[in-house]
Structure 1
């Protein structure tokens, strides 16, 4: 019996042993910053040296990084076994400080799965169903792989421009469980990570990529989203002619004093595909992406709107493309699992293992991305066959609406 349990343990260990990849995440860019860390090694152009624990001031000098006023060269990496704190936040992994144009780039070098521990809780609440947490973990992992940038100093930022990454302080057991349960899984198309965009609340209908950004992507299409019902799903705002003029000016468009705004063509998802702005000097017609930039420039939560004079009534929150987090919550409460949720919001895509990405095994290590096995020290003699599974979804019937 003991031999059976030991064999089962080894088989489970090999089955769950998966590859992990070292990312570079820009935490902040500033003239200086305060870091706290335990015993550590400092690697720089001057070599490597061991140091004890402490609180350090890292600042930009004249073409160099200064540590407590002493030169460390153009860059320095703090290598730790237990992470570090930058300002008020703590992070896993190492910290790379790079001088650039009179400022310091504070870059977290962190394993992908550890990075997700600080991303998924920042994107969806722990109270959401497990299927949503799992879907979000897969999308966040896919988004990170899609954004790898070997030519740049970093791959991702830590803000909404990329994915919100808040480090150790936001980790929760439920999020961690969802990340581990989906370890190495991504959504792919043509053996590449998809453009894994997502948003908070579609307002009842997701948008196609073409109507928001002008470029068509096969799996980013409009979808009914009947369960997207967040606490702020419906809203209204009063538009200011002066604010509209300023938002137009940011696109290089001048119309004089704005006199009226009206949609000429609305997409299937309820978003303007053509918007007319009447000004004192001229009138202009904006296409879908221009309309999006105008409306989001006005601070509107979404572009699923209707107009009544200067009053605008809207639904949803976010750009509306890809998975709606609140919509996914509603689907999960109807019994959908993460595969069905992802298949619905990204039709025609595949649930794939990390290894399916074309050229991953050869190209990424050569580009400077370390890859290692991660699972309690266990690693199979060779990688398991890559997983590729077509994502299917249940279509909505008349009873859903």
Structure 2
């Protein structure tokens, strides 16, 4: 069976055949208030001729009473089956099997057309999982054929039995189409929920990367300005640092707005400038590249986030006195000589791992033998496309 056919009615797995119909429990099944009225309309073509036939009997007998009880019990089950939709699978299965048995007993006792079996087979299709509907309805139709054969009416009523089988098959596909639509509704709700969660995670990750670095740099520069005033009283130097703090706060506010609106782009070259200023303010010797031309353009945005978070971690946690940053076409390394112990991934490292994973890359952190931490981000290069085979031109007309 083709893939599209297997998925057509949502029965593309063994579990889908045996599971309960998926639907909202608050609106599962026909409306309880309207269905009895509609059910009576559907039952009239069955009840009117059978009732006339029973009323035409000259006397009341035990067989007549039993037949009447079967007929109206079968009709009552058809009217009440929506009330079983919210019950357990066992109850629904027992109700459907019992209704089909009542239909067969009604055919056997009253001699009615096998067309009345359609009420029971239809209920089974809409009430139970697909596998149980197939098993019970096929057994009901085969038993009905045996009853007609024993009564000598198979030739006359064969057409009605085929009609019941055809209509039941159409309802089977309709019921499973409804279930497939309900599965899609549930899937759409889940997709919407995941989209909201992913957007929240994106904003949280971006704000962490942004504010963590900006606030850390602001703290370092404000501390430097305080130390300058306390130790040397160098007011011009302190004013310069405070001006840079003011610029950082304005830039951070602008970045927050851009991050929330998803318009913010990170530049690796700008992050190098910011890292140099932040490390200088923290009195950390920084060995940084002067250009980013050797880094592939499509990787610079991601590596900008890596550099920002790594420098923020150095300023916050490492106690380092020296930092080295090395760049390659598809990799970035940040190395410090701090006192890093066991590497415990926090929100920042987890966010960077997610960013690199989205680009197909990896992030590795490891403690250096002499102390400090090495962070390496790498993104695999795209595979080169195969060159088109060269075609040699031949002289026209076959001339040498």
Fold shared, TM-score > 0.5 on shorter chain: no
| Structure with bigger RCO (C-alpha 8 Å, 6+ apart) | 1
TM range (shorter): under 0.3
Structure-2-length-normalised TM-score: 0.21
